[in-house]
Amino acid sequence: MIYSILFFLLLSIFLIIISKYNLRRTIKNIFIVLNNLPFIIIIYDFDKIYYYSSEIEKILKKKIITVDDYITFFDKKEKLQMIQILSTEKEKVYLNFIKKINNEIYKIFSMKITFFGKKIILQIFHNITEIYKKDKMIHQMNQKIEILDNLRNLTYTENFNLPGIMESIFNYLRKVDLVDLFAFNIFSKDKKSAKVTIYFENKKIETTIYEKQKGIPWYFFNNNLKKLYIQDLSNFSKDEYKSIINIYEMDNSYKDLTLYLFPYRFEKNIHGLFSFGKKGIDSYSETDKKLIESIAEHIDFIVRYQYILKKYNEENNHYKDLLTKDTLTQLYSRYYFNEWILKHAEYLKRNDKKSILAMIDINNFKNINDTYGHLTGDNVLKFVANVFLNNIRSMDIAVRFGGDEFLLIFPDATIENIKKKMKIIIEKIKENNYSFDVSISYGLSEFCGESYIESLKRADEKMYEMKKNLDKKL
């Protein structure tokens, strides 16, 4: 480009000097000089073509005789700009534009000059097809990087939602003009039906299709395809399978549609399909296809990653629940208490607060088990646990400490208040439908963040004192 501009200036100076000093060894001699320059040049006004390089006819693929033969290749806007160049009183008026001529891309530099007293246009053609192709490749690479970066961000989103993710992907791809339509479907477990979601323009269609309709998803699934490129969706027909796009409420502009389909798999099984759609027949170039294939691989990875992550989290939460909750009573486990009490001790010391610990034991529980059986014993444990849960605050902690022993922790409470609370709990436990007595003994101690084991010992000792007193009464 810089060389072309320099040449423009030098050639203009050359022609001005010739015109000014009338150095006319003949115009033919000037044209000989022009013919030997490494540029494609044309000099003309709207009455006559004064000179043009022989390459011009090769570019236009047409014999140039008159000005009309030449300017027919320009649109109205470009013609108007050339008229403005010639009609203006200003000197050194420049105009540059890019034009596609017979599948080649040219940058055309235009300039008004005075040549032998006439105002004429000097134009230089610079073939930038290769530069354009390289720029396009760089643009596509940047586009691909941007799309993949966006997809990478979606990969690790915490609140994964498949429809939401697919809609985000559609918006990315539509923004870079890679799709006019994006769809995905989820097969039912028996593969007899599929839920379909289609995004196009600013619309979304959700529906269910069935195997008996012999649509493309079942052609894909039954043939275990890795991908499927359909040049003309409306005319698709393979064996007994066909396009059923006509069932969707879409305007006629989607009648001719190119579709590129890919599967996403869970544990090696096709779980569903996603499709890239572009208006027109065979609308994707080979470069587009490669880009879409890369995007499809990444979408498949996103879905599989999130599926594996979901399964892991479910299993992790299951085992975490097993550790933190007692499966029989649904109270917190001893394991959970051992972790929690350390953090709670720090909280108490830091804020100069105290909690009340209540160690509880079911009276004569061994006798209940031996007399009425372990299933009845389990029911008693669940009954007592439910009484605890229904009569403590949300901030309080209920723990199955082991066997028939329980531990209640009451943050920000006093011994006096908790004694009242324990009387209510004792009365609630007595109100049962068993044919035998169910009762508890308990002991209380304050916990200010010191050794929780010492606090437990004090509560345990008071609980056994209550048991002894109860035995004496009996």
Q: With contact defined as beta carbons under 8 Å apart, do 346 and 449 qualify? A: yes
Q: Which helix (H) or strand (E) holds 407?
A: strand 405-411
CB-side exposure of 87: number of CA atoms within 13 Å?
A: 6
**Element of type H or E holding 142:** helix 129-155
The more confident residue out of 134 and 400 is 400
User: Mean pLDDT for the chain?
Assistant: 84
Measured in whole angstroms, the distance separating CA 108 from the mean position of its chain's CA atoms is 43
Assigned token pair, 350? 């830091």
Does domain 134-313 fall under CATH 1.10.10.10? My reply is no
How far apart are alpha carbons 418 and 356 in whole angstroms? 8
Do 134-313 and 334-473 agree at the fold level?
no
- Residue 312: CA atoms inside 13 Å, Cβ hemisphere, count? 6
Q: How far is CA 121 from the centre of its chain?
A: 53
Average pLDDT over residues 247-258: 75
110 strand-pairing partners: 95, 123
Residue 406 and residue 331 in contact, taking contact as beta carbons nearer than 8 Å: yes
* pTM score: 0.52
pLDDT of res. 157: 64
* Neighbour-count burial of 381, counting CB atoms closer than 10 A to its CB (0-12 exposed, 13-18 middle, 19+ buried): buried
Please, which residues have CB within 8 angstroms of residue 336's CB and are 6 or more apart in sequence? 323, 324, 325, 399
The answer to whether residues 384 and 361 touch, using CB atoms and an 8 Å cutoff, is: no
Residue 71 has pLDDT above 60, yes or no: yes
Question: For 368, how many CA atoms within 13 A lie in the half-sphere containing its CB?
Answer: 19
Specify the pLDDT at position 158. Answer: 63
Domain ranges for the chain: 2-127, 134-313, 334-473
Count of C-beta atoms within a 10 Å radius of residue 445:
21
Over residues 419-445, mean pLDDT? 94
Mean pLDDT of 333-346: 92
83/353: higher pLDDT = 353
Q: What pLDDT does 159 receive?
A: 65
Across 163-175, average pLDDT: 84
Percent of the chain with pLDDT over 90: 41
CATH of 334-473, one of 3.30.70.3280, 3.90.180.10, 3.30.70.270, 2.60.40.10: 3.30.70.270
Of residues 9 and 102, the one with the higher pLDDT is 102
Name the CATH superfamily housing domain 2-127.
Answer: PAS domain (3.30.450.20)
Residue 291 reports pLDDT greater than 90: no
Element (H, E) at 390: helix 374-390
pLDDT of amino acid 96: 85
Pick the range with the lowest mean pLDDT from 194-198, 252-256, 284-288.
252-256
Better-scored residue on pLDDT, 38 or 127: 127
Which of 4-8, 36-40, 71-75, 360-364 has the lowest average pLDDT? Answer: 4-8
Look at residue 30 in the predicted model and tell me its pLDDT: 60
Q: Which of 153-162, 231-240, 380-389 has the lowest mean pLDDT?
A: 153-162
- The confidence band for 364, taking pLDDT boundaries of 50, 70 and 90, is very high
pLDDT tens string 5-39: 555 555 554 555 445 444 444 455 566 666 666 67
